[in-house]
Amino acid sequence: MAEPKGNATLKAIAEEAGVTITTVSCILNNKGGKYAAKTKAKVQAIADRLKYRPNALATSVRTGKTGTAGVMIPNRHQFYSRVVSGIHDTLLNHDTLMLLCWNDDHPDGRTFGDKERRIIHGLVDRRVDGIILRPAHEDLDRSYFEEIWERGIPLILVDREMSNVTTDFAGTNDEVGGALAAEHLLFLGHRRMLYVGDSNISTSNHRQDGFLRVLTGTRDACGQAIEFYSWGANEQIVELITQQPDRATAVFCINDFIASQIMSLARDAGLSVPEDVSVVGFGDQSLPDAAVGLTTFNQSPAQIGAAAAQMYLDRVNAPGHTDYRTILIKPDLVVRGSTALAK
Amino acid sequence: MAEPKGNATLKAIAEEAGVTITTVSCILNNKGGKYAAKTKAKVQAIADRLKYRPNALATSVRTGKTGTAGVMIPNRHQFYSRVVSGIHDTLLNHDTLMLLCWNDDHPDGRTFGDKERRIIHGLVDRRVDGIILRPAHEDLDRSYFEEIWERGIPLILVDREMSNVTTDFAGTNDEVGGALAAEHLLFLGHRRMLYVGDSNISTSNHRQDGFLRVLTGTRDACGQAIEFYSWGANEQIVELITQQPDRATAVFCINDFIASQIMSLARDAGLSVPEDVSVVGFGDQSLPDAAVGLTTFNQSPAQIGAAAAQMYLDRVNAPGHTDYRTILIKPDLVVRGSTALAK
DNA sequence: ATGAAAGCGCTAACAT
DNA sequence: ATGTTAGCGCTTTCAT
């Protein structure tokens, strides 16, 4: 085993070199170039031999900066893993590390257990410079608001905005996604279409808006929105895509999971995809789309993460602004086998 | 905006309450129960109003414990994401947060760029209590060894061991996995089989060992190992599974990716899977196995992560032991459509 | 060119 | 029941 038992400190180096802590500190940090070359070399040599590494905790106590970001994003779905990857890479390029943590437990989707508060406190206590998070719900979330926002800790939101507070935000351009879906299907000759979503989710509403906007603006075309999680939704959908002659021939879904449900539904009803009905998904669910052959959207999660991290860095380096930014990444249509020309 | 501009400190509370910092510290930490109820209440009330949160940095500078783990595991594949999830959950139950980071760049698979060293220094400087990592390569890795091990920082390895140093380790029981694959195929009546792997990877060697051990121990059965990444491997494999009458009727592959390659290969050669040849994969690649219908192994990555985290906690709480533990999680065979009775 | 001293926020041993 | 003091490892201002 080498020299260091525990960690080398400035003091230890100073004593061995016969100089003061100040001198060592300045030399190792290249502050004040006015030291004798001999002293510099000596100090540096000792530091190297002792494998000196500064205690960032001590530095942070003084400077108030930790170079550490709090990131609260679940790591369980591929979409989020990729968002986190984007954040990670961008932060790392600026010598910032991330404390990654999340809370899955949302019994009623609106209560913030002790657990969530404990996590946030963990970040606050460790004095992260800021926090990037994907809200677990959209409505006023006391945990987030009181514990982060009110403390003046820079807060960047990803994927989902919160309804009660304006912050920097990076996410998907859902409106454009909806519009692109509509255009794709129109191009294939479809005129009567369905949007299957969930009006409780703002993201879904944006997709729906873009989708219907385009359809409404097109002669002869029309669209209708269905709540997936409502009673009798399945029956209603089946009716709409089978009922001749005004049946819908294309369905745009809030996500890939629902899309594959719809495909099963259609097949059970005796229709084939895409011959009788075209189906478009939306790619935040990490289904094996390629295998299923689903036409869907790639949301470029890594790019979303990178954008969030960039806003984080900007805000941490220049706090106090009140001009919050929103960066929306355009989703890319990926055409596969579930969409085809209307008959 | 509420009271706190910046962060409340013990000092601020003490001044307002008209007591000393010590008193406040003790009261808020429930140390020494010998304070007047009135004082306690007063101090607590002020702390609450100011939304006081202890500065963990300052505490750590003194105590030498940060309650923070360094975790160096790529987040890009589902397998690793799940390992990280297991680690996360276990650590969180013990009020430990993780600094998650990784390095993807390994040009020649054996050089540790500045980047990797910078990451490790980031963790060391922040004084993590220990580090959990998946080595990017198996041979002596100076970065890991010098920067972590020699400093006496507890080090737990996941998924892959290193050849030069003994540490706590959590991974897959590859030997058993190989054996189970052999038994499954034997049960289906296969007698002549192939193992397709990569002898540069210890994990592959263990699977191969288990696989061949069982075959060697079975009358009439035999197995052969092929290097996938060698020149002419494809041709060789095709020859071995087509050449009558002693052709191999089953192939066990180091991972799902290779397995699906082999399936294509077989089909291109005019064989059908599983009628003519059975194929077994191994589940660390996050392919959409279910869609492809591949018989494979589930490695229970979350369990591996949990085991690693538990060893981490044990070691951080009771350092200095030299009895390193190895925890191997048994992989579970998942039978799907790529294996069938031998003809 | 180098050092002394104060202080960041907190803990802990030791008074009173 | 509460206060005094020293110190963790570092930075920074101000001497010398």
Residue A138 scores a pLDDT above 80: no
Quick check: A22 CB within 7 A of strand D? yes
Q: Is B149 in the same domain as B193?
A: no
Q: How far is CA A87 from CA A78, A158, A254, A256, A338, in A?
A: 14, 10, 25, 24, 33
Residue B159 scores a pLDDT above 90: yes
Q: Residue range B124-134: average pLDDT?
A: 97
- Measuring from the CA of residue A53 to each C1' atom, give the nucleotide at the shortest distance: D9
Q: Which residues contact A110 (CB under 8 A, 6 or more apart)?
A: A137, A139
Q: So what's the pLDDT on residue B286? A: 59
* Alpha carbons A101 and A119: distance in angstroms, whole number: 7
Q: Is B180 in the same domain as B273?
A: yes
Q: Does B165 touch chain A (CB under 8 A)?
A: no
Is A45 inside any structural domain?
yes
Separation of A35 CA and C4 C1' (Å): 17
Going across the sheet that includes A222-227, the strands are A222-227, A192-197, A250-253, A278-280
Quick check: B14 CB within 7 A of strand C? no
> With helix as H, strand as E and coil as C, how does chain B read?
CCCCCCCCCHHHHHHHHCCCHHHHHHHHCCCCCCCCHHHHHHHHHHHHHCCCCCCHHHHHHHHCCCCEEEEECCCCCHHHHHHHHHHHHHHHCCCCEEEEECCCCCCCCCCCCHHHHHHHHHHHHCCCCEEEECCCCCCCCHHHHHHCHHHCCCEEEECCCCCCCCCEEEEECHHHHHHHHHHHHHHCCCCEEEEEECCCCHHHHHHHHHHHHHHHCCCCCEEEEEECCCCCHHHHHHHHHHCCCCCCCEEEECCHHHHHHHHHHHHHCCCCCCCCCEEECCCCCCCCHHHHCCEEEECCHHHHHHHHHHHHHHHHHCCCCCCCCEEEECCEEECCCCCCCCC
Residue window 75-104, chain B: list those with CB within 8 Å of chain A.
75-76, 78, 81-82, 84-85, 88, 92, 95, 97-102
Is A339 inside any structural domain?
no
Position of tokens 């193992």?
Answer: B195
Quick check: B57 CB within 7 A of strand D? no
Residue B142 scores a pLDDT above 80: no
Residue of B nearest to A291 (CA): B291
Percent of chain B at pLDDT > 90 equals 76
Q: So what's the pLDDT on residue B125? A: 98
Q: Is B190 in the same domain as B286?
A: yes
Separation of B59 CA and D12 C1' (Å): 22
State the pLDDT confidence band at B141, using cuts at 50, 70 and 90. Answer: confident
Q: Is B164 in the same domain as B72?
A: yes
Ranges of beta strands (E only) in chain A are 68-72, 97-101, 130-133, 155-158, 168-172, 192-197, 222-227, 250-253, 278-280, 296-298, 326-329, 332-334
Q: Does A132 touch chain B (CB under 8 A)?
A: no
DSSP A160: S
Quick check: A85 CB within 7 A of strand D? no
Separation of B322 CA and D12 C1' (Å): 43
Q: So what's the pLDDT on residue A25? A: 95
| Residues of B whose CB is below 8 A from A290 | 288
Q: So what's the pLDDT on residue A77? A: 86
Q: So what's the pLDDT on residue A289? A: 61
- When the pLDDT of each residue in chain B is averaged and rounded to a whole number, the result is 91
Percent of chain B at pLDDT > 70 equals 92
Query: Two tokens at B210?
Result: 């288990």
Q: Is B80 in the same domain as B147?
A: yes
Q: So what's the pLDDT on residue B140? A: 55
Q: Is A130 in the same domain as A154?
A: yes
Q: So what's the pLDDT on residue B2? A: 42
Quick check: B7 CB within 7 A of strand C? yes
Residue of A nearest to B292 (CA): A291
B252–chain A nearest CA distance, Å:
22
Is A100 inside any structural domain?
yes
Separation of B61 CA and C9 C1' (Å): 10
Residue A142 scores a pLDDT above 80: no
Q: Does A9 touch chain B (CB under 8 A)?
A: no
> Helix B37-49 to helix B21-28 angle, to the nearest 10 degrees?
90
Q: Is B211 in the same domain as B236?
A: yes
CA A253 to chain centre: 21
* Alpha carbons B5 and A40: distance in angstroms, whole number: 41
* Number of CB atoms found within 10 A of residue B225's CB: 17
Q: Residue range B33-55: average pLDDT?
A: 92
List the CATH number of the domain containing B160.
3.40.50.2300
Residue of higher predicted confidence among B5 and A31: A31
> Helix B56-63 to helix A56-63 angle, to the nearest 10 degrees?
140
Residue window 268-297, chain B: list those with CB within 8 Å of chain A.
287-288, 290-292
Is A148 inside any structural domain?
yes
Residue B127 and residue A55: Cβ atoms within 8 Å? yes
pLDDT tens digits for range A158-198? 998 887 788 999 999 999 999 999 999 999 999 999 999 99
- pLDDT-wise least confident of A160-164, A187-191, A220-224, B201-205: A160-164
Residue of higher predicted confidence among A136 and B257: B257
Q: Are B330 and B173 in contact (CB under 8 A)?
A: yes
Q: Residue range B143-171: average pLDDT?
A: 90
> Helix A233-242 to helix A256-268 angle, to the nearest 10 degrees?
60
Quick check: B59 CB within 7 A of strand C? yes
Q: Are B66 and B126 in contact (CB under 8 A)?
A: yes
| Residues of B whose CB is below 8 A from A292 | 291
Tally of structural domains, chain B: 3
Residue span of the structural domain in which A19 resides: 10-54
Nearest to B126 by CA among B53, B74, B56, B54: B56
Q: Is B75 in the same domain as B224?
A: no
Quick check: A102 CB within 7 A of strand C? no
B265–chain A nearest CA distance, Å:
18
Is A59 inside any structural domain?
no
Q: Residue range B123-132: average pLDDT?
A: 98
B247–chain A nearest CA distance, Å:
31
Separation of A16 CA and C2 C1' (Å): 16
Identify the three-state secondary structure at position A252: strand
A158–chain B nearest CA distance, Å:
18
pLDDT tens digits for range A60-90? 999 999 999 999 999 888 899 999 999 999 9
Q: Residue range A121-137: average pLDDT?
A: 94
* Alpha carbons A103 and A116: distance in angstroms, whole number: 6
| Residues of B whose CB is below 8 A from A6 | 152
Q: Is B134 in the same domain as B234?
A: no
Percent of chain A at pLDDT > 90 equals 76
Q: Which of B59, B97, B114, B127 to mutate to test the interface with A (most CBs of A within 10 A)?
A: B97
* Alpha carbons B158 and A140: distance in angstroms, whole number: 40
Q: Is A193 in the same domain as A309?
A: no
Residue of higher predicted confidence among A30 and A90: A90
Is B30 inside any structural domain?
yes
pLDDT tens digits for range A254-310? 999 999 999 999 999 999 999 999 999 998 665 666 666 899 999 999 999 999 999
State the pLDDT confidence band at B46, using cuts at 50, 70 and 90. Answer: very high
pLDDT tens digits for range B252-293? 999 999 999 999 999 999 999 999 999 999 986 656 666 668
Q: So what's the pLDDT on residue A241? A: 95
Q: Residue range B149-174: average pLDDT?
A: 92
Q: Are B212 and B223 in contact (CB under 8 A)?
A: yes
A278–chain B nearest CA distance, Å:
21
Characterize the bridge pairing of strands B155-158 and B130-133.
Answer: parallel
Q: Are A168 and A156 in contact (CB under 8 A)?
A: yes
- When the pLDDT of each residue in chain A is averaged and rounded to a whole number, the result is 91
- Measuring from the CA of residue A125 to each C1' atom, give the nucleotide at the shortest distance: C9
**Buried/exposed code over B25-47 (b: 16+ C-beta within 10 A; e: otherwise):** bbbbeeeeeeeeeeebebbbebb
* Number of CB atoms found within 10 A of residue A40's CB: 16
Is B2 inside any structural domain?
no
Is A258 inside any structural domain?
yes
Q: Does A142 touch chain B (CB under 8 A)?
A: no
Q: Is B101 in the same domain as B147?
A: yes
Nearest to A126 by CA among B189, B127, B255, B339: B127
* Alpha carbons B175 and B209: distance in angstroms, whole number: 6
Q: Is B109 in the same domain as B251?
A: no
Identify the three-state secondary structure at position A285: coil
Quick check: A74 CB within 7 A of strand D? no
